[in-house]
Amino acid sequence: MSESAFVHHGRLGAVIRLSVVNALLNIVTLSLWRFWGKTRVRAYLWGHTTIWGEPLEYVGRGGELFIGFLLAMLVVFTPYMILVTVAQLMLVEQNPLGALLFALAQFSLFFLIGVGLYRARRYLMTRTVWRGLRAGQDGSALTYALLILGHIVLMGLTLGWSAPWMSVKIERYRLNHTRFGDTGFTCDATSGSLYKRYALVWFSFIPVVASMALLGLLTDYPDPDAMEPGEFFAKMALVYVWLFGSILVFTALPLAAYNAAYWRQIAAHTRFDGIGFSFELGAWRLVRLFVGNALITALSLGILRPVASMRTLRTACQCLSMESQPDLSRLFAGTQPIPRTGEGLVAALDGVGEF
Amino acid sequence: MRVLAGLYRDGKTAQDHPVEIRVLGHGLEIVAHDSQLVERWPLARIARDGDSIGAALRLRCADFPAARLVIADGQDLAALLPQRQTRPWLWAGLAAGAALVLGLTFWGLPHLASAAAHMVPIEAERAWGRAMAREIEDDHRACTRPDGMAALTVLQQKLALVLPEPQRPSRVVVVEHPMVNAVALPGGTIIVFDGLLRQADTADEVAGVLAHEMAHVAERHPLIAGIRSVGLAALVTLFTGDLSAVAATIGGMALAGNYSRQDESSADALAVEILHQAGISPQGLASFFAKLADQGGEIPQWLSTHPELDARRQAVEAATRGQAFAPALDASQWQALKDICPN
């Protein structure tokens, strides 16, 4: 088949227009519009992505995200803030219980982000329709959050060496619980072949640490109490530019090579109804995508983030291919229940990982 | 009656079902090839998917949420469907509304912050300032040579007595640090860095800087600036929807610089007033600005919150009135103040 399985047709002008209208509406509504704005962006991006010639359809609604956000604020965020405030007050009074409470709050934050990310992905899947069938995600958000937590703890214990193993494990969990209609994806990727590239990433941090130490020798650490605000900000800017510069120089390419290999490995071991995938992504392309997205987002003060999303989607579509078209007569709707509200936990906590 | 060919998707399988679509006055009838009626969609309940790529008309019906119709050439059918009104004034209204909200917020913020500052009990402000002072004094030794302390008290009182009692600084401390500067903390503590005393050529220059910091204290600028920067970060985050705070930091810094310039010139004006009433020449403040401008500083001007030193010097000179001034301190007091730090 000459036709590519995945094609993104989104136009830059249309997405910029959407972004600007959303920014204006965010200002006028004191940001309440953002749930509906995000929904409009997704509807556009989904509608302009075709799989075997048929566009995706996004059927989520802004109101669902808004209610999900309110629920998360009420049930999770408010108790969390109370816990943190109490812990801080106790710390000020030098009560040792405060530190314990604080640790508990931090711990539960990581946990909640894990839960929120998984539930947000479930929402996104169930709102994605192709040829009249919804995608879906099973599995448990608690298990997923425990995996994330385990990932963080192991990273600390093994000085980062557990990262490829755990990342692939977590990816497998996600993909093995993802389905389209009632047909599940399967993924049996392993991390063994990724370790050579990961070692390069790991060792590339040594020159970064060395260059930060060099900066420490050259200049004082910025201290807001002992400097003019202008000097402090200039010094802080220098530290950040130096840090990101060092990371860019020493780590960016190894990291990109590792990440590209990671996605190639995941795709090569993923099947849908027996059909395989491949992901032709190179390191340099990943660097361009990432740096471009960071610049677009930062220079537009976050307003053009949808453009960054579109670039990501376009790159993914260009790189991803599927061996053959699935047999449509074998695909049926899933029978699992569909969440009624959007996932607000991630939006309430930090907004991490949102599309 | 028009009859069109279309594809029907039932939401149960991924397959297309070729159907005949009969266009009636009140709705669409979807008929299978065996002439069996599949569904009847009332026109008022039909929505069109306007987000998808391609020329095909894609329809859904609120009465059958899972079902979809794809009509390859049904573009003229779109005219029969409930129309979305086009509102050309919406863009203009939206832009004007956004400009209004932005303008009101960023003009209003300093006023809101100072109103909020007046609601903060002075005790809470002092406690905050004490905590900040303690941190500075932990890192940098406070200078306490008795002769110097006495001279500092003389200078402080000369200036402070001009102000009404509640606006006076609570404490002036010199700490060992080469920075040529002084800062006012919330609650009225003023920290003078030793570098300032070393760089100053006359007591009048130190008096000028001290009067400037006292003006900040009298106008509660440190507290207001604190409240303002928190509010600013919250607003920028709100407006840009950027929760990662990149935008909030960049935008906040730019605007904080603007607001703090307003604070600086207001403090300069009040400082000149204080100096006049204390009988000390504001020329000291002006020559100190000239000195800072000559040094150039390691900071690029656009990043600094104290730019336009030359303009500030000129403003101080312009505000100076012709009257008799006495030196802020006599020669021995000035020497003692310069030597307040051991070594």
pLDDT (0 to 100) of residue A203:
93
pLDDT (0 to 100) of residue A353:
41
Cβ A47–B51 below 8 Å, yes or no?
Answer: yes
Q: Which two tokens stand for residue B263?
A: 């604070």
pLDDT (0 to 100) of residue A3:
61
| B254 band by pLDDT with thresholds 50, 70 and 90 | low
Rounded Cα distance, B108 and B116, in Å: 12
Q: Is the dihedral of CA A197, A202, A206, A208 positive or negative?
A: positive
pLDDT (0 to 100) of residue A189:
94
Mean pLDDT in residue range A10-36 = 89
Range of weakest confidence among A47-56, A138-147, A274-283, B123-132: B123-132
pLDDT tens for each residue of B59-104: 999 999 999 999 988 777 877 777 777 777 877 888 888 888 888 8
pLDDT tens for each residue of A93-110: 777 888 888 888 888 888
Locate the chain A residue with the closest alpha carbon to B135: A225
pLDDT (0 to 100) of residue A41:
94
Cβ B240–A223 below 8 Å, yes or no?
Answer: no
Rounded Cα distance, A76 and A141, in Å: 15
Q: Is the pLDDT reported for residue A351 higher than 80?
A: no
What is each CA distance from B167 to B160, B161, B269, in whole angstroms? Answer: 9, 10, 16
Asked if B132 is an interface residue toward chain A (Cβ–Cβ < 8 A), one would say yes
User: CB-based burial of residue A342 (10 Å sphere; 0-12 exposed, 13-18 middle, 19+ buried)?
Assistant: buried
DSSP B266-285: HHHHHHHHHHHHHT--THHH
Give B-chain residues touching A181 at CB under 8 angstroms. Answer: 14
Report helix, strand or coil for A25.
Answer: helix
What rounded mean pLDDT belongs to chain A?
Answer: 87
Q: How many pairs of residues across A and B have Cβ atoms under 8 Å apart?
A: 149
Range of weakest confidence among A144-153, B110-119, B290-299: B290-299
Q: Which 3-32 residues of chain B touch chain A by CB within 8 A?
A: 9-16
Q: Which is more confident, A137 or A26?
A: A137
Q: Which of A57, A133, A228 sits opposite B306 (nearest CB)?
A: A228
pLDDT (0 to 100) of residue B301:
46
| HSE (side-chain half, CA atoms, 13 Å) at B68 | 24
Cβ A132–B49 below 8 Å, yes or no?
Answer: no
Q: Is the pLDDT reported for residue A119 higher than 50?
A: yes
Q: Which of B101, B260, B299 sits opposite A234 (nearest CB)?
A: B299
Range of weakest confidence among A304-318, B255-269, B308-322: B255-269
pLDDT (0 to 100) of residue A140:
92
User: CB-based burial of residue A297 (10 Å sphere; 0-12 exposed, 13-18 middle, 19+ buried)?
Assistant: buried
pLDDT (0 to 100) of residue A264:
95
Rounded Cα distance, B337 and B206, in Å: 10
Rounded Cα distance, A14 and A333, in Å: 32
pLDDT tens for each residue of B170-224: 889 999 888 888 889 888 889 998 888 988 999 999 999 999 999 999 988 888 8
User: CB-based burial of residue B10 (10 Å sphere; 0-12 exposed, 13-18 middle, 19+ buried)?
Assistant: middle
CATH topology of domain B2-80: PH-domain like (2.30.29)
Give B-chain residues touching A28 at CB under 8 angstroms. Answer: 94, 97-98, 101
Residue among A24, A69, A305 with most chain B CBs within 10 A, to mutate: A24
Range(s) of chain B covered by CATH 2.30.29.30? 2-80
**Which of A214, A54, A211 is CA-nearest to residue A128?**
A54
Q: Is the pLDDT reported for residue A9 higher than 50?
A: yes
Give A-chain residues touching B17 at CB under 8 angstroms. Answer: none
Mean pLDDT in residue range A258-279 = 95
pLDDT tens for each residue of B266-320: 999 999 999 999 999 999 999 888 887 776 554 444 445 455 788 888 889 998 8
pLDDT (0 to 100) of residue A347:
62
Cβ B250–A301 below 8 Å, yes or no?
Answer: yes
Rounded Cα distance, A247 and A243, in Å: 6
pLDDT (0 to 100) of residue A302:
80
Residue among B12, B53, B70 with most chain A CBs within 10 A, to mutate: B53
Q: Is the pLDDT reported for residue A352 higher than 50?
A: no
Angle formed by the axes of helices A96-126 and A141-157, nearest 10°: 130
Cβ A228–B305 below 8 Å, yes or no?
Answer: yes
| B138 band by pLDDT with thresholds 50, 70 and 90 | confident
Rounded Cα distance, B313 and B17, in Å: 82
| A228 band by pLDDT with thresholds 50, 70 and 90 | low
Locate the chain B residue with the closest alpha carbon to A223: B136
Q: Is the pLDDT reported for residue A224 higher than 80?
A: no
| B2 band by pLDDT with thresholds 50, 70 and 90 | confident
